Chains A and B, each alone.
Chain A
Amino acid sequence: MVKIILRNQEFEVRPGMTLRDALRKCGLLPETVLATRGGEMITEDEILADGEVIKLVAVISGG
């Protein structure tokens, strides 16, 4: 499985899907996050492999 972490939330998705599909599966909009793998930013077409951990950076702030 692939682990996706956003702040204190954790999601798990099946390997083999793109980041874009994984975000959709988790109910997240690609526009609201940046995805990193091993500290490097990745684009939405990246295929996620089994055992990977994807850390998301929330980008929206306000007030």
Chain B
Amino acid sequence: MKCRKCGGKAVIHMPQHRLALCKEHYLAWLPEQTERFIKKYRMFTRAERLLVAVSGGKDSLSLWDILHRLGYQADGLYIALGIDGGIRYSAESQRLAEKFVAERGLTLHIVDVRRETGKTIPEWTQATWRGQQKPCSVCGLVKRHEMNRIARDLGYDVLATGHNLDDEAAVLFGNALNWSVEYLLRQGPVLEERNGLARKVKPLCRFYEREMAAYALLRGIEYIYEECPYAVGATSIYYKELLNRLENDRPGTKLAFYLNFLEARRAGLFAEQREVQQALHPCPGCGQPTSAPGLCSYCRMVAKSQESGVG
């Protein structure tokens, strides 16, 4: 297969775009497309300060690499979750994030979950009913809380995450299966800042996961290859597998699923629900905004674990 730009040997074929590219042109194409999406969805400008949530994985490190190459002011945030799982998962992730930073002279903020919340993620999963059922749910809750806190406390304009199209399509699939309108309303490339919540953006939301892995590999970015021990059997991975079966038979299905959803919502789907969108209230515990009066989900989880005396 030949590169469409130069006729050289292609290293990647993207059937949904009917496009094959060589290494050199792929490494130029992906940042160009990212820039296009940043502008299209009005994510941020070069005058704004970005905080990139970095896990040590292929997506977040590639995102930071791309933003740096494009000339944006992007610092990183690594949240040390305290997950070992027999493979020193968090320690290795942090090592790779720090190596990435050292090679590029970037700024990385590190937050230790145990120091900030009193427990590691494995300890939180044991201490709560929610965590015992869905460890990824507790991890997500703690990470969102900490990401927003740091972005707000350090005065960043925008919080950027490395969610790719497979991530977004899997979430959309789950929310559509359950018709979770409240979540469907909030899903998109940009979640605007409101009442103490930092603006959140997903510049990689239109790239397939395979494309992001290819970028990391071709750029020589060393990332954590092992799966998080807690993600084994996660629903999101199951949904991704289902969507990839569809994609295999009908190239472009995942992209169309996500883009047509964004277009349908823009055209008025869920318009009635948008009108009654809930106001946000400051949580009396941490001060961060929450949709219902009283403690936010994070503070409720902390309070429950203290009441039960577990952990």
Binding site for B on A (CB under 8 A): 29-34, 36, 40-45, 57-63
Contacts and interface: CB of A to CB of B under 8 A. Distances in A.
Contacts of A29: 244-245, 247-248
B70 interface: no
Given A32-B244, A43-B10, A63 B209 contact: no
Interface in B232-250: 234, 236-237, 240-241, 244-245, 247-248
A60 B209 contact: yes
Q: Which 6 A-B pairs have the closest CB atoms?
A: A63-B231, A62-B237, A59-B213, A62-B236, A41-B11, A63-B136
Contact of A44 (B13, B208, B228, B244): B13
Contacts of B75: none
Contact of A63 (B1, B217, B237, B248): B237
A30 B1 CA distance: 15
B57 A61 contact: yes
Contacts of B1: 43-45
B230 interface: yes
B6 to A, nearest CB: 15
A45 B2 CA distance: 11
B120 to A, nearest CB: 16
B245 A60 contact: no
B11 to A, nearest CB: 4
A23 to B, nearest CB: 10
A44 B20 CA distance: 11
B99 to A, nearest CB: 19
A43 B64 CA distance: 27
